[in-house]
Structure 1
Amino acid sequence: MNNQDSIMIEKETTDKIEMKTKKGLGEMWPEPIIRVQSLAESNLTTVPDRFIKPPSQRANETIIVDYPLEADAMNIPVIDLSSILSGNQEDKKRMSEACREFGFFQVINHGVRPELMDAAREAWRRFFHLPAEAKEAYSNSPSTYEGYGSRLGVEEGALLDWNDYYFLNFLPLVLKDLNKWPSLPSNIREVTEEYGEELVKLGERLMRIFSSNLGVKEEQLQEAFGVEGFGACMRVNYYPKCPRPELALGLSPHSDPGGITILLPDNHVAGLQVRHGDTWITVNALPNAFVVNLGDQMQILSNSIYKSSEHRVIVNSQKERMSLAFFYNPKSDIPIQPLQQLVSATNPPLYPPMSFDEYRLFIRTQGPRGKTYVESHVSLVNG
């Protein structure tokens, strides 16, 4: 890349940030930030009103704290990636069915070293246990979302979720700013860098299989995402102990706005729940597995052949929980619409073209709102 290209990309990125600021994503949150971890450590006997969900949104089943769940517990599909890469068509078909029915699956034998997975978990766990002032140095803002945060959405007075997080960018490289990555613990940048590189490779492998299962060429989905300039970012979620877990949620129901989410769940504490019909399934994470879910952009590109499912996170009063969500996303300014090969006179496109940047602006302004946004665009096309 020459200097002129670099200047143009930087100007384009700046223009996008300025556009978001004009639409309401400025440098300041609408009200003082409440760090959930500090609330949890203040010996509260209940949760503040801002965190109490309406009865219709609360998790009303028994909250499971520790792995493993019962052997016969309902779970999302488990997919052996090495088997698919070795040519096992039956496992490839099972992945296709998981994408069409659940939009979620666990992947084992995925090629990422367990030692690296453990190191990433431990480095970020240590970060969240640093003194408050060390973390506050990386406080984020609505304009870029990057850094240490405690809320989604900029609506003043909105109900909040019981979590703190850290968000950072990997790709495109113009958005990667190591100054916004924490420097403590001392190995966190090195471990996170290697972890991100491995998950980008895993995302690329999954994209080829997803394309093939749709009956299009293996490169098709990646080309739709952008061969150059596609996005990769990570949100580390920290869910402190909650004194009244039946009143709150760690993360409200939502579908992810992007392409693929590769989640490294907590290896001790359950919390992720996936909506399947009218049932919320508590995911029983297997050792050294990733939980993969398809985002709204994959539902759009597949013209609803693939499904992006609602999910939420429950909390508990006995243990903290942490997860690392890695997002593999389209280039921010490419119009995303159903693949031409999947559209016909009898199967018209269900979604209008829209860039990922425009799409994700919704969740960054409104916060998690189920599948409101992707469903509203189906109705736009169909009148």
Structure 2
Amino acid sequence: MAVTPEPLPRTNAVDFRAPPPSPVAPGRQSPFANDDVLSEYLQQSLKVPDLVLPDRVFPCQKSVQNPPRIDFGKLGSFESEMGFKICDLIAQVGCLELINHGISPDLMGLVLFLAGGIFQIPPEKKKTAARSPERRYGFEEIHGEEEIRDQSEEFLWCDETTMKSEMEGIWPFGFSNFSQEMKKLSRQMEEVGRRIMLFLEQHSLKKFSAENGLPEEQESAGKVWCIEKHGRKMGGDHSLRYDVIRMLIKGSEFSHALSLHLWSGTTDFHVYSKKGWVSFFPARNSIVVTIGDKLQGWSGGQYKHVIGRPVFKGENEKSNISMAFLYSPPKFTNSTKQDDDFTISITQQFILCVLITFVYRFLISIYHFFCIKVFK
């Protein structure tokens, strides 16, 4: 006999209604005396900060603005008014271009040609001469993506005995000749830098002050060359921004007053600053001079520190060599403090008075002696 299962009890849907809402609490007065102050505080604290993104930090290109092109032979013959106008233009752009500077184009071309041989050294030998905290010369290691590392190479040259011995070990047939020509060029570039500094100081709004620099730092900074081999050109802003960041790091590492740029072939020249960057086409065999961080400090901010870089458009990567001479005048002193050099102390004045008295008495004695002898 089949057993019929008993039906389950029917559930009344009404029994499963949502619970009624909680009773609304009676309103009570806020414990704060001034609700407006609380509301303003909450609005300020909950506001999302205005973030400065990298795209906004990177400077934009300005309209084309050529720097003043100056004939080096006429540098000391400008009238005061014209000199001030030229210096004002230099302060706006951050650089100037020198023509007829007196340095032989053959010497410049020879040094640039010999500099290209540095980058022909095998990679395993370059590692032995890589830069480190202990040495301020050698090959600069390029970090980043592979295509960026292939873009360029850098070598920093300075006139030091230790560098000469190390480099002759890995480049025995070329480094001695290269250093010899570099020393010739360095002496002439130092004279160019000295004349420019003198011109800027004479025609600036106020006299320079060297309180922000140490003499030993200035002497060493004037003997550093940054040599770069420019590789294949990459398009887009990625490569440009990477170059600017790398130049900013290098510029802050080697403090200098002026940077004097040479390059091989024809190129555009870019000048980067916080306000933006400008591009111009320099004359062949000219020297482009950019303002360094030391000069910005000495001038009280009248001249702004900028970064200069030639940008090659040619396809011949091996001949795309540029060099920058980081110059600072040795033991630069403020011309306004020249009175201190001629100050005579009280002791010196007393000694001088005594000497004058003795000389006077001696002359009087001689005079009386000859007078007596004549009248006799």
How does the TM-score come out when normalised to structure 2? Answer: 0.58
Q: Residue 98 in 1 paired to residue 89 in 2? A: yes
Post-superposition Cα deviations, 1:96-149, rounded to whole Å, max 9, x if no partner, equal: 123321221111122222111111111112322344345444222233231112
* Residue 141 of structure 2, aligned match among 150, 174, 184: 150
Query: Residue 293 of structure 1 aligns with which residue?
Result: 290
Contact 2:262 2:323 in 1 (8 A): yes
Query: Residue 280 of structure 1 aligns with which residue?
Result: 277
Aligned-partner Cα distance in 1 for 2:191–2:212: 16
Shift in Å, 1:312? 5.7
- How do residues 201-240 of structure 1 correspond to structure 2 at under 5 angstroms? 201-214=191-204, 226=215, 230-231=219-220, 232=222, 233-240=224-231
Shift in Å, 1:293? 0.9
Aligned residues: 266
Aligned-partner Cα distance in 1 for 2:103–2:212: 24
Q: 1:216 to 1:246 in 2, by over 3 A?
A: closer
Shift in Å, 1:237? 1.3
Q: 1:274 to 1:133 in 2, by over 3 A?
A: same
Query: Residue 260 of structure 1 aligns with which residue?
Result: 258
Q: Residue 326 in 1 paired to residue 325 in 2? A: yes
Shift in Å, 1:306? 1.6
Query: Residue 196 of structure 1 aligns with which residue?
Result: 186
Query: Residue 43 of structure 1 aligns with which residue?
Result: none
- How do residues 130-141 of structure 1 correspond to structure 2 at under 5 angstroms? 130-141=121-132
* Residue 70 of structure 2, aligned match among 66, 75, 79: 79
Q: 1:224 to 1:130 in 2, by over 3 A?
A: closer
Aligned-partner Cα distance in 2 for 1:222–1:207: 16
Shift in Å, 1:260? 0.9
Aligned-partner Cα distance in 2 for 1:118–1:222: 38
Q: 1:242 to 1:84 in 2, by over 3 A?
A: closer
Query: What amino acid is the match of 2:306?
Result: S
Aligned-partner Cα distance in 1 for 2:217–2:131: 27
Aligned-partner Cα distance in 1 for 2:336–2:214: 16
Q: 1:60 to 1:247 in 2, by over 3 A?
A: farther
Shift in Å, 1:241? 0.7
Post-superposition Cα deviations, 1:359-380, rounded to whole Å, max 9, x if no partner, equal: xxxxxxxxxxxxxxxxxxxxxx
* Residue 308 of structure 1, aligned match among 289, 305, 308: 305
Shift in Å, 1:225? 6.2
Contact 1:146 1:166 in 2 (8 A): yes
Aligned-partner Cα distance in 2 for 1:208–1:227: 20
Query: Residue 168 of structure 1 aligns with which residue?
Result: 157
Query: Residue 247 of structure 1 aligns with which residue?
Result: 238
Q: Which structure shows the bigger proportion of residues in helix conformation? A: 2
Post-superposition Cα deviations, 1:260-303, rounded to whole Å, max 9, x if no partner, equal: 11111342233x41147855322312111111011111111111
Aligned-partner Cα distance in 2 for 1:329–1:229: 5
Q: 1:303 to 1:223 in 2, by over 3 A?
A: closer
Contact 1:225 1:330 in 2 (8 A): no
Q: 1:56 to 1:106 in 2, by over 3 A?
A: same
Contact 1:79 1:94 in 2 (8 A): no
Query: Residue 369 of structure 2 aligns with which residue?
Result: none
Contact 2:72 2:98 in 1 (8 A): yes
Query: What amino acid is the match of 2:327?
Result: Y
Contact 2:262 2:287 in 1 (8 A): yes
Which runs of 5 or more structure 1 residues have no equivalent in the other structure?
A: 1-53, 62-71, 343-383
Q: 1:116 to 1:90 in 2, by over 3 A?
A: farther
Aligned-partner Cα distance in 2 for 1:183–1:210: 42
Query: Residue 165 of structure 2 aligns with which residue?
Result: 179
**Over aligned residues, Cα RMSD in angstroms?**
4.2
Query: What amino acid is the match of 2:196?
Result: L
Question: Which structure has the larger Rg?
Answer: 2
Q: 1:57 to 1:113 in 2, by over 3 A?
A: farther
Aligned-partner Cα distance in 2 for 1:317–1:265: 13
Contact 1:165 1:236 in 2 (8 A): yes
Aligned-partner Cα distance in 2 for 1:60–1:259: 25
Query: Residue 22 of structure 1 aligns with which residue?
Result: none
Aligned-partner Cα distance in 2 for 1:222–1:180: 36
How does the TM-score come out when normalised to structure 1? Answer: 0.57
Instruction: Work out the percentage of aligned pairs sharing the same amino acid.
Output: 18
